[in-house]
Every structure is written in C-alpha cells, then in structure tokens.
Amino acid sequence: MTLLRRTLIAAASVAVLSASFSALAQDIKPRLIRFGYGLNEQSNQGRAAKVFADEVAKLSGGKMKVRAIGAAALGPDNQMQQALIGGAQEMMVGSTATLVGISKEMALWDTPFLIGNVKEADTLLDGPIGDKVRNKLQDKGMVGLVYWENGFRNLTNSKRAITKMEDMQGIKLRVMQNNVFLSSFQTLGANAIPLAFSELFSALETNTVDGQENPFNTILSSKFYEVQKYMTVTNHVYSPWIVTASKKWWDQLSKDEQKVLMDAAKVSRDFERKDTRDEAAKAMGDLKAKGMQINELSPVEAGRMRDKLTKVYASIGADIGMDLWNETQAELKKIRSG
Ligand code: TF8
C-alpha cells in the first residue's frame, strides 16, 4: 500500500468516525411535525408559529420540519387537544382556558385581575408556578413547553357602549368554553354563551351573539372591527397561550430532538411576547381608525366590576387547590416587592 493510499484511508476513516460522532452527539431523525393553531397566519399567533418552525429547522439541520397550520384548519382548540392526547397530531398552541376541562390547575390563569402587568406575567409564567401548572399536563397526555402571550382581554359588542356594569345586562356575550369565564360574565349580568373561537366571527356577523372579549391583537387580526362597533377597555384578565406537544409522540423523541423543540419554543416565546406587545401598543389607534368606538371605564365603574369579579376567586381556589392558590399569591407578592 502506498503512503498516499494509507493516508487517504486514514483520512476517510476519520471522516466516517467524526460523522458518526456528530450523528451520535445529535440524535435527530427526519420528523414531520404538525403544529396547529386557531388564529390566522397574519396574527401574532401565526407570526410566532412561523418563527418556531424556522427555528426548529435551523436547530435540527433541516431534519425536523414543522408544518404550521392555522385558522383552526386542524379543528378548534378542544379538538386539537384530543388529537394530541391520542397521538394523531404532534403539536399545537392555544389558550390555557380551553385546557381547564383536561387539567384543572389551568384555571389559575382565568382568575380575573390576577396579573397586573407584563412583568408579573413573564415572571409568574416562566417561574415555579407556571412550571407547576404546565407540568400537570403530563399526567393528561400532553407536554407543555412554553407560554406565549395572548394578552389582556377587552370587551367588544355591537349593541352599545358599556360604561357601567348595568350596560352588560342582556348582552349575548360569547365566552371561551370555560367555567370561570362563564360564571364571571354571568356575574356581571351578561348572557354568557360558550363557543369555540373558530365559530366566533360568523356568530358575531349573524348576531347569534352580540359581543365577545379578547385582546386588542385578536380583535384586529380576526377583523372583529367589521362586526363590532363598541370596545370597552377592561383588561379583565391576562390570557396566556401555551405551546403543547402530544406526550405519546414526545416520549418517542430522542433527548436531542426534545431539546431542539424546547429551545425553539423559547425563541418563539421571546419573539411572540415582543411582537404581541408592539402590536398591542398601537392597536387601539388602528381599531379607532377602523371605526370602532372605544371607551375606558371610569375608575369607580372599573372598581365595581372588579369587586363583582373577585367573587369568583373562592371557587377558583377550591378548583385548583388552596395550596397552589396560596403559593401563587405569595409569588405575586414577591414579584411586586422585587
Ligand atoms: C379565545 C382565545 C383564542 C385562542 C386562540 C384560538 O377567545 O382568546 O384567541 O384560543 O388560540 O378563544
């Protein structure tokens, strides 16, 4: 054997070895991941889903492909959750509020006026309380990866400007399929009607319901201004979204694959929160320009609504367990003093 030949063979075996080494170091197989969501592609949810898909491709060297499927084309939240649990769909992002029937601790995030600003939101959701609630999903067949921001919710309707609680009387108000939202708005005097988000635009358009409540971003991206004249800035609750995976599927992934998804989810979260906040900051002006009549509640009226809504606190505490409730209050106290 010539020296050259020997050198070539040695070089080739080093190449083979190092290739298999990096394959070992990165145990990643080709994967197709269907990632469903409910809003349209032009929404904050759609933009962040795309960031997640791009990041997964980047971190996996193109082996893991996320197909982001929006506008509830894979079904409303509840249907996608069941598909994840059964292993028929890999991933989704949706409201924590629609998960309460599966994992009762999620109702913590439905508590009116629990979170007062985005600093409290990020610290609470990304800290031990958020982790605890997220990890409860594992017993139910889902893996919770990160929280995204849906945002502070506000009221819209087609009937009249709501300047005081009594104005809510008789308003047919769509709420999420969730008991806290149902009883909160019943308490305020509205005729609360639970409905999937995917049905909402046409329900508003046909006057099956008069109103709904969602963050500025969604009122804008789902074009609710076309069918809703009035908006009242209530900020009655901070709504998170949660990125979830099918546990059945997740458990078959290698540690490296799971890490790619978790790292990409965090990148998407940071992008999504900034994007959502930037959009929300100018959304009120945009909605006014689209013809909506917007009012803020007087401090006295806001206080009255708040007092009414905090009446649901006891039942939330009972549902999620007083330990979690008390830990959350303690954590919030810490955040507020820090
Ligand atoms: C609602 C929620 C929705 C989300 C979304 C479909 O009102 O705020 O925006 O569930 O993921 O249903």
DSSP readout, 265-324? HHHHHHHHHHHHHHHHHHHHHHHHHTT-EEEEPPHHHHHHHHHHHGGGHHHHHHHH-HHH
Which ligand 1 atom sits closest to the C-alpha of 241? Answer: 11
Distance between CA atoms of 228 and 171, rounded to whole angstroms? 13
Tell me the ipTM for this assembly.
Answer: 0.98
Cβ–Cβ under 8 Å, residues 91 and 265: no
pLDDT at site 19: 44
Domains within the chain, CATH numbers bracketed: 28-150+240-281 (3.40.190.170), 154-237+282-337 (3.40.190.170)
| Residue indicated by tokens 């917007």 | 294
Going by alpha carbons, the residue nearest to atom 4 of ligand 1 is 95
pLDDT at site 1: 55
Cβ–Cβ under 8 Å, residues 261 and 60: no
pLDDT at site 311: 86
pLDDT at site 207: 98
Distance between CA atoms of 209 and 286, rounded to whole angstroms? 24
Q: Please report the beta strands in the chain, taking only residues with DSSP state E, as ranges in sequence order.
A: 31-36, 64-69, 91-95, 142-152, 154-157, 172-175, 191-194, 211-214, 230-233, 238-246, 293-296
Which ligand 1 atom sits closest to the C-alpha of 38? Answer: 6
pLDDT at site 158: 98
Which ligand 1 atom sits closest to the C-alpha of 176? Answer: 12
Q: Any residues with Cβ below 6 Å from ligand 1, and which?
A: 37-39, 77, 94-95, 98, 150, 176, 197, 214, 218, 239, 241
What tens-digit pLDDT sequence spans the chain (338 residues)? 565 566 555 555 554 444 444 444 689 999 999 999 999 999 999 999 999 999 999 999 999 999 999 999 999 999 999 999 999 999 999 999 999 999 999 999 999 999 999 999 999 999 999 999 999 999 999 999 999 999 999 999 999 999 999 999 999 999 999 999 999 999 999 999 999 999 999 999 999 999 999 999 999 999 999 999 999 999 999 999 999 999 999 999 999 999 999 999 999 999 999 999 999 999 999 999 999 999 999 999 999 999 999 889 999 999 999 999 999 999 999 999 98
